[in-house]
Chain A
Amino acid sequence: MKTLYSKSEKAFSSGATMILSALAIISLLPFLLIIIASITDEKSLIANGYSFFPRGLSLDAYYYMIAQARVVLRAYGVSIFVTVIGTAASLILTPMLAYPLSRPDFRFRGILTFIVVFTLLFNGGVVPSYIMWTKVFQLKNTIWALIIPNYLMSGFSVLLVKNYFEKNVPRDLIEAAQLDGANELTIFFRIMLPLSTPVLVTIGMLTGLVYWNDWINGLYYINDPSLYGIQQLLIRILDNIQFLKSGAAGSVIGNIVVDLPGASVRMALAVIGILPILLIFPFLQKYIIRGMVVGAVKG
């Protein structure tokens, strides 16, 4: 059946496409500006500022970063380590808690679900957390400060996985496995997890994104430059570009004098900071959107 669209609908549709195209370009302009800025010749930057149509192009900023690779790679390494370990741990903890909560015959289901939900409603604020992590657990200036506080497991993801288990894994399957004598761990690893890969990929993606983008744990708990992740390096360099060549970051390039193309290096570093997201995003857009749609309304 072919729908006959009225004149006003056709006009609306083509108007919408045009406006959206314009908005899409506007939305991408900020990214374009930092990318162009990162490959703009430093003299041209000083003369004309950041611009979409620079006078001269140059890759000096990137060459400079290769020369200073130790600082940048170290921060990258910290960010990758934190993201991988944090996401992996989260992907173990979250479904392991979600599974018992999804079982209608589990005796403490009600009270434990309440314990999870309540963390979404009320929190003690950052002052007690900060004192606890630094004074009791001594996390200050350790890599664990970037992984453990706040993000390791969120009540929100637990509920997301719990709902998925309830809706998508048939009860009969669990009961049949129990009749065959399977224990809970077997059911969890052999049935629940394999049948739930979409939701696990979704929370894995969202958690990975949170860890890669996080700078707040670093702001509170890290002042040792050797533990800077990429986001903290970015903060530090926005404040003071000289940090990149300071001895504190342990970067010595022999006795070669390298002029610091500060204005373009800053933006090159920002580009490097979002590069993994830009590269991975097209493949995982589907999962991220799914998680957002489910998660936004239903906590």
Chain B
Amino acid sequence: MTFSRTALGSLKKTLPLILMALPGLIYLVINNYIPMSGIIIAFKKMDYSKGILASDWIGFDNFQFLFSTPDAWIMTRNTILYNLAFIAIGTICALALALGMNEIKERFFAKYFQGVFLLPNLISMVVISYVAFAFLNTDTGFINRTVLPTLGLSETNYYTRAQDWPIILLIVYLWKNTGYASIIYLASMSGIDPTLYEVARIDGANKWDQIRLITLPLLRPTIVILTMLAVGRIMFSDFGLFYQVTMNSGALYSTTQTIDTYVYRGLMQLGNIGMSSAAGVYQSLVGFVLVLTTNYLVKKISPEDALF
């Protein structure tokens, strides 16, 4: 009697909260959890007429095929190398920009600069691909029609020259992301106690000493954490950057194919569900292990910054 009354009482207390959580949970189950169970597709010979469950199991055949093609190596290499370059160069640029912005004491200008550098981050990859096109295309591109002729160089068809794209994509990436990343560093810089700088000044430290001995060491946790979170995502690439900005040009695949673009092309353009889903599962599993590992390391350094 007592038991059922407390159970009833606690149900009465819990039920409204469960009901409120329900719509969101249902969405997560459909949008996230059902597709997770769909990784079995990678181990099947998918046949739409039979459906997913009734399609034949083929074990690791899809993976064997995938890793016997040169594509597997190319897309893994590209994904990881681009990410490493983005992490290393992106972090340095963002820190430098934040150090500069930290010098702007006038509120209006500080906001103005922040806004200007943030803007490229807020426009879609489609518009960014227009910007790239306006610079790079052969008929009307600014570089081909103005820059190269001025330098006395001949016209270059960038959309067929794979060797140029690592640098082009790096520039686009930096233009789009540096402002955003710098705002995070700027926020941690503004949290540094100004008396530290006062004391350093009295001791005769010049600006460079202050940056080297106060600012950077105090930013280290933020830098380490952002870097590790990025390393955890090293198997994932910005699909739009590699697909849309390159205008899906086949001639560029050797330097622009990443796991995400491969999965898309396999599924939507080649209809090769087996290979595509195998690549997706490969990405998800390796990515998952990396996220867990980096999160574990973040937790050791600074527990409150860990994801979980």
Contacts from A to B (Cβ < 8 Å): 3-4, 6, 8-9, 11-13, 16-17, 19-20, 23-24, 27-28, 30-31, 33-34, 37, 45-46, 48-52, 92-94, 96-97, 99-101, 103, 105-108, 112, 114-117, 119-132, 135, 148-150, 152-153, 155, 158, 183-185, 188, 209, 212-216, 219-220, 231, 234-235, 238-239, 263, 266-267, 270, 273-274, 277-278, 281-282, 285, 288-289, 292-293, 296-299
Contact = CB atoms under 8 A, between A and B. Distances in A.
Contacts of B28: 115-116, 119, 153, 155
Contacts of B170: none
Contacts of A3: 198, 201
A131 B34 CA distance: 11
Given A100-B18, A231-B126, A289-B118, A125 B281 contact: yes
Name the residue in B103, B140, B308 with the highest tally of chain A Cβ atoms < 10 Å from its Cβ. B140
Nearest to A97: B24
B85 interface: no
B73 interface: no
A121 B307 contact: yes
B284 A123 contact: yes
B6 interface: no
B18 to A, nearest CB: 7
A16 B100 contact: yes
12 contacts: A16-B104, A31-B119, A49-B141, A50-B141, A125-B35, A126-B263, A129-B31, A130-B267, A231-B126, A234-B130, A235-B126, A297-B226
Interface string B294-308: 000000000011011
Interface in B237-260: 239-240, 244, 247
Interface in B36-53: 36-39, 41-42, 48, 52
Contacts, number: 284
Contacts of B35: 123-125, 128-129, 132
Given A8-B206, A50-B140, A184-B16, A34 B131 contact: yes
A277 B123 CA distance: 8
Interface string B117-133: 11110111111011101
Interface of B: 10, 13-14, 16-18, 20-21, 23-25, 27-28, 30-39, 41-42, 48, 52, 97, 99-101, 103-104, 111, 113-120, 122-127, 129-131, 133-135, 139-142, 144-146, 175, 179-180, 183-184, 187, 198, 201, 206-208, 210, 222, 225-226, 229, 239-240, 244, 247, 263-264, 267-268, 273, 276-277, 280-281, 283-284, 287-288, 291-292, 304-305, 307-308
Contacts of A124: 32, 34-39, 280, 284
Contacts of A120: 307
B123 to A, nearest CB: 5
Given A115-B25, A238-B126, 17 more contacts: A17-B104, A30-B135, A49-B139, A49-B145, A96-B21, A117-B307, A119-B33, A123-B35, A124-B284, A125-B281, A126-B263, A128-B34, A128-B39, A129-B35, A185-B20, A188-B20, A273-B124
A149 B31 contact: yes
Contacts of B208: 8, 12
B95 to A, nearest CB: 13
B78 to A, nearest CB: 18
B81 to A, nearest CB: 22
Q: Is the interface of B mostly helix, strand, loop or mixed?
A: helix
Contact of B117 (A24, A101, A183): A24
A297 B222 contact: yes
A288 B118 CA distance: 10
Given A16-B103, A20-B100, A213 B123 contact: yes
A33 B24 contact: no
Given A17-B104, A24-B117, A51 B142 contact: yes
B115 to A, nearest CB: 5
A125 B123 contact: no
Name the residue in B18, B123, B133, B175 with the highest tally of chain A Cβ atoms < 10 Å from its Cβ. B123
Nearest to A94: B24
Contacts of B247: 238-239
Nearest to B307: A299
Contacts of A184: 16-17, 20
Contacts of A20: 97, 100-101, 104, 113
A215 B123 CA distance: 12
